[in-house]
């Protein structure tokens, strides 16, 4: 399966309204798409997020494409190693300064996902089956409870309830991180009051606090039976608002875990197997949220999944459910897939990816079609996207 072409495009669409995290609002829906074509006529697609789209597209086109043309698309580990060596190995300091580690790993993810799509299609299998699984609907939680300008706690809680009921979810995730521990507790209490005792609630702080703050907020929220507290601390290189850089994110996460009864979730910003290892070993997280669409693709995901299984850590991949459901479903320790109200948060997804999986009774379907079970809407990309190297 000789690689004949590597194409890349990206699209950014404004959201109807800004939807805030602890640090500020999200105002647009952003996606990079990669497509790989082989000499056999097979085509595979991948996606990337989490870094500036023009930079990731440039890396795919100028950095990865020359390394991949003429190679065997089935050799996913070989190609991952080759690309890693080319962009992180000897002489990597000569690459453009804008090609930072996060952008490079996002570009690698887009390519790697496309290669796995080709591999699965060549075998006539879904990605789930290629990984040894049997496709089945996966439990999903509705990612909700954003900070909205002028929205009361009661309105936020009611919106979360409406989104739960619309597709039969039995779990929701809301945002915390602004204000005092009492403010965090009030947000959780408002949601618990309307959804009742049987719905699972997760909370996401989006790296808002230092260790002491995280412990105080966690303990204030403990009475409300939370399934997890997600990313309480800033990632390496990202300062806390109050105390600057966290010296050892994983060890400090472990300190938070030791001082609260709420299980911790993290991992979307741990971008390699080694970082996820340290999070599992030092951080004492119950849920690993490694994101293969941001961080290196399926090739790295399966290694993280194996380590987590050995350590008794559950998988709950972050974001992008249309890809993550296929890589979560094969593993017995996968717990949840994150799902959104796309009309509010990710307006491009259903149109950009024909075949987008549906959610019914709180479960997201896992296609048994070859590959990811998705196509790409070229008309939408052509009309509203940016085509860097894309044959229309």
Q: How confident is the model at residue 241 (pLDDT cuts 50, 70, 90)?
A: very low
Identify the burial level of 166 via C-beta atoms within 10 angstroms of its C-beta, where 0-12 means exposed, 13-18 middle and 19 or more buried: exposed
In this model, does residue 9 exceed pLDDT 50? yes
Do residues 114 and 299 touch, judged by C-beta distance below 8 A? no
Residue 34's DSSP bridge partners are 8, 46
Residue 32's DSSP bridge partners are 10, 48
Tens-place pLDDT, residues 331-349: 999 999 999 999 999 999 9
Residues 6 or more apart whose CB falls under 8 angstroms from that of 238 comprise 207, 245
Angle (CA) 110 139 176, round 5°: 80
Confidence (pLDDT) at 239: 46
Q: What is the mean pLDDT of residues 212-235?
A: 96
Do residues 15 and 345 touch, judged by C-beta distance below 8 A? yes
Q: Count H helices, E strands: the chain?
A: 15, 14
Tokens of 20: 């805030």
Tens-place pLDDT, residues 114-152: 999 999 999 999 999 999 999 999 999 999 999 999 999
Tens-place pLDDT, residues 59-105: 999 999 999 999 999 999 999 999 999 999 877 677 899 999 999 99
Residues 6 or more apart whose CB falls under 8 angstroms from that of 41 comprise none
Residue 314's DSSP bridge partners are 287
Q: How confident is the model at residue 245 (pLDDT cuts 50, 70, 90)?
A: low
Average pLDDT, the chain: 94
Give the helix ranges, DSSP H, for the chain.
53-58, 65-68, 76-88, 101-123, 127-130, 153-167, 181-195, 211-221, 249-258, 273-283, 298-311, 321-328, 342-345, 349-352, 378-384
Pairing assessment for the beta strands 138-143 and 337-339 based on DSSP bridges: parallel
Which has the minimum average pLDDT: 12-21, 179-188, 295-304?
12-21
Domains of the chain and any CATH numbers = 3-124+377-389 (3.30.390.10), 130-364 (3.20.20.120)
SS3 call for 388: strand
DSSP state of 356: P
Tokens of 128: 């789930």
């Amino acid at each position: 399966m000789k690689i004949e072409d590597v194409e890349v495009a990206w699209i950014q669409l404004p959201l109807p309204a800004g939807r805030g995290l602890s640090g500020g609002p999200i105002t647009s829906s952003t996606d990079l798409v990669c497509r790989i074509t082989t000499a056999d006529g097979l085509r595979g697609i991948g996606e990337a997020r989490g870094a500036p789209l023009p930079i990731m597209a440039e890396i795919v086109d100028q950095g990865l494409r020359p390394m991949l043309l003429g190679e065997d698309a089935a050799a996913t580990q070989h190609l991952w190693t080759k690309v890693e060596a080319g962009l992180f190995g000897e002489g990597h300091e000569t690459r453009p300064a804008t090609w930072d580690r996060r952008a490079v790993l996002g570009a690698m993810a887009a390519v790697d996902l496309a290669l796995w799509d080709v591999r699965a299609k060549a075998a006539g299998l879904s990605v789930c089956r290629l990984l040894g699984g049997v496709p089945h609907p996966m439990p999903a939680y509705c990612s909700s409870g954003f900070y909205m300008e002028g929205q009361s706690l009661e309105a936020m809680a009611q919106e979360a309830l409406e989104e739960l009921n619309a597709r039969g979810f039995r779990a929701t995730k809301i945002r915390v991180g602004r204000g005092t521990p009492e403010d965090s507790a009030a947000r959780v209490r408002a949601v618990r009051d309307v959804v009742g005792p049987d719905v699972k609630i997760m909370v996401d702080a989006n790296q808002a606090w230092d260790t002491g703050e995280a412990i105080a907020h966690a303990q204030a929220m403990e009475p409300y039976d939370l399934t997890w507290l997600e990313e309480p601390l800033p990632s390496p290189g990202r300062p806390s608002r109050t105390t600057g850089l966290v010296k050892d994110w994983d060890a400090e996460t472990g300190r938070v875990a030791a001082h609260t009864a709420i299980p911790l979730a993290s991992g979307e910003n741990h971008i390699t197997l080694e970082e996820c290892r340290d999070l599992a070993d030092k951080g004492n997280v119950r849920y690993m949220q490694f994101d293969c669409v941001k961080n290196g693709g399926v090739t790295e995901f399966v290694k993280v999944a194996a380590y987590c299984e050995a350590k008794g850590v559950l998988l709950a991949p972050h974001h992008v459910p249309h890809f993550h459901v296929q890589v979560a479903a094969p593993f017995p320790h996968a717990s949840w897939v994150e799902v959104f109200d796309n009309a509010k948060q990710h307006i491009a997804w259903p149109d950009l990816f024909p075949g987008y999986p549906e959610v019914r009774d709180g479960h997201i379907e896992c296609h048994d079609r070859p590959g990811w079970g998705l196509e790409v809407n070229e008309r939408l990309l052509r009309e509203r996207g940016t085509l860097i190297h894309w044959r229309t």
